[in-house]
Amino acid sequence: MSAVAAPPKTGEMQALVLTAPHEFEIRSIPIPRPGANEILARVHAIAICGTDAEIVEGTFKGRWPRAYPFTPGHEWAGEVVDAGEVAKRFGFVPGTRIAGTSHSGCGYCRMCRTGRYNLCFNYGREDLGHRQYGHYTQGAYADYVVHTIKAVFPIPAAMPFDVAALCDTASIALHSVKRPGIEPADVFVAVGSGGIGLLTAMCARALGAARCIVVGGGKRLDRARELGFETVDYHDGDPVARVRAMTDDRGADVAVDSAGTKDSVRQAILMVRKGGRVAFTGIPKEPSQIEFQKIVLEELDLYGVRANRNTMEEVMPLIADGRIPAAKLITHHFALRRFGEALRTFNQRIDGALKVIVEP
C-alpha cells in the first residue's frame, strides 16, 4: 500500500463530460461524495474500451447514457481517498490501491444471490442498488470517482496502475473463456484481434489450451505473433477455411467471438468441430445468418457473455505473476486533457493501437 492518500481539498475536479453524441469537453464539475458502502478514489489510469467509443458516438443513446451530461469510463484503477463507514469496515481505507469494474448488482434478486449479478433482474434500478458505472451510472474519466465496494477490488502492491486498469477487460476475457470451458490440449480460436480478443487467447492458454489461434487483421496480428499465438488474417481469404486447414479439417474445440460482427458470429460457429463450444462476447449490432443445421447435427454449445461475474479476483493473480501478460497490450498513454487524441488513436488503430491508457 502506498502512502495514505489525502482527500481532495477543493470541491471541483476535471472530468470528461459528454454533452451530446460525439460531443464532449473537459470541464470542472463537483467532486462526488461516497455513501456508507462506497469509496471515493483518485483515478490514476483508465483504459479506453470499445464500448466507451460507442457511448461517445451515441450508439446506445437513451440506454448508455440515459441522458446528458454524462461521464463515461469503466476500466480504471486508482487509490481510495475517502470512504463511507461501511466501506471502511471492509478494509477500504484511504491509501488502498484498487481497480474497478462496471457491474454492481442489487444484491437481492435471484440472479445476484446465485452469483450472476451481471444479469441482475433489477438492472437500471439505481433506487434498488443496481449500478453500471460508465454506462448509465457516472464513470471514471475524471480526477475522482465514487463506486460501491461491490465493484472495486484491491490490487497487488507491485501492480502498476495502467496495468491494473486492464483487470476489468481481462476479467471479461476470463469469463468469456470459462463459459465454454477449456480442457487440456484444446485448440482455441479468438475471433477478433483487439485487446479483448488477445486477452481471451491469453486466458485460454493460462487455463490449459494447447494451441491458440487469433483471427484478425493489420498490425494487431503482429502483436499476436509476438505473444506466441498462431494467426489468421481475414484479408487473405476465408478465415473459416484457414482455421479448418490448420486443424486437419477437424475444427477448433473452442472459439470466442469478440469482434461482434454479423460475419464473425457466423464464422466462429463454423470454425469449431463436432461437439465444439462457442462463446460470444462482442455485442452484434445487426442480425447474423447462423447455421442451425450445424448447431443441431453437431451438438454445438453456444454461450452468451455479459461482461463478467466473479472473475476480477481470479484474473488479478494471473496478471501479477505473468501468466496473463496484459501489460504487453498497452500501446499508448495520454493525459485526460488529450482525450480526443486518445480516442482517435484508439478508433483508427494508429501505430497499431490496442489498449490506450488515459491518465487524469
Buried b / exposed e over 88-104, threshold 16 CB at 10 Å, is beeebbbebbbbbbbbb
185 and 75 in a common domain: no
Any domain includes 337: yes
DSSP 141: S
Written as nine digits, the cell of 42 is: 483518485
CATH code, domain with 343? 3.90.180.10
pLDDT in tens, 41-85: 999 999 999 999 999 999 999 999 999 999 999 999 999 999 999
Written as nine digits, the cell of 56 is: 461517445
Any domain includes 254: yes
CATH code, domain with 203? 3.40.50.720
Cα angle, residue 104 at apex, residues 160 and 167 outer, rounded to 5°: 20
Q: Which of 272, 304, 336 is the last residue of a domain?
A: 304
Any domain includes 100: yes
Q: Given its phi and psi angles, is residue 349 left (phi above 0), alpha (psi -120 to 50 degrees) or beta?
A: left
pLDDT of residue 1: 45
238 and 96 in a common domain: no
pLDDT of residue 3: 63
222 and 159 in a common domain: no
pLDDT of residue 9: 72
Any domain includes 29: yes
Amino acid at site 354 = L
Sequence-separated (6 or more) residues with CB below 8 Å from residue 52: 72, 73, 74, 134, 343
123 and 22 in a common domain: yes
93 and 47 in a common domain: yes
**Total number of domains constituting the chain:** 2
Any domain includes 5: no
pLDDT of residue 349: 95
- Please answer whether residues 138 and 76 qualify as being in contact, where contact means their C-beta atoms are separated by less than 8 angstroms: no
Range of the domain at 346: 12-165+325-359
Dihedral of alpha carbons 183, 188, 193, 198, sign = positive
Q: Which of 304, 333, 348 is the last residue of a domain?
A: 304
Any domain includes 7: no
Any domain includes 309: no
190 and 63 in a common domain: no
334 and 237 in a common domain: no
43 and 160 in a common domain: yes
30 and 153 in a common domain: yes
Any domain includes 72: yes
The 3-class secondary structure across 210-254, one letter per residue, is CEEEEEECCCHHHHHHHCCCEEEEHHHCCHHHHHHHHCCCCCEEE
221 and 140 in a common domain: no
160 and 27 in a common domain: yes
Summary mean pLDDT of the chain: 96
Q: What is the pLDDT along the chain (360 residues), one digit of tens a residue?
A: 456 777 777 799 999 999 999 999 999 999 999 999 999 999 999 999 999 999 999 999 999 999 999 999 999 999 999 999 999 999 999 999 999 999 999 999 999 999 999 999 999 999 999 999 999 999 999 999 999 999 999 999 999 999 999 999 999 999 999 999 999 999 999 999 999 999 999 999 999 999 999 999 999 999 999 999 999 999 999 999 999 999 999 999 999 999 999 999 999 999 999 999 999 999 888 888 898 999 999 999 999 999 999 999 999 999 999 999 999 999 999 999 999 999 999 999 999 999 999 999
**Residue 17 β-bridge partners:** 25
27 and 139 in a common domain: yes
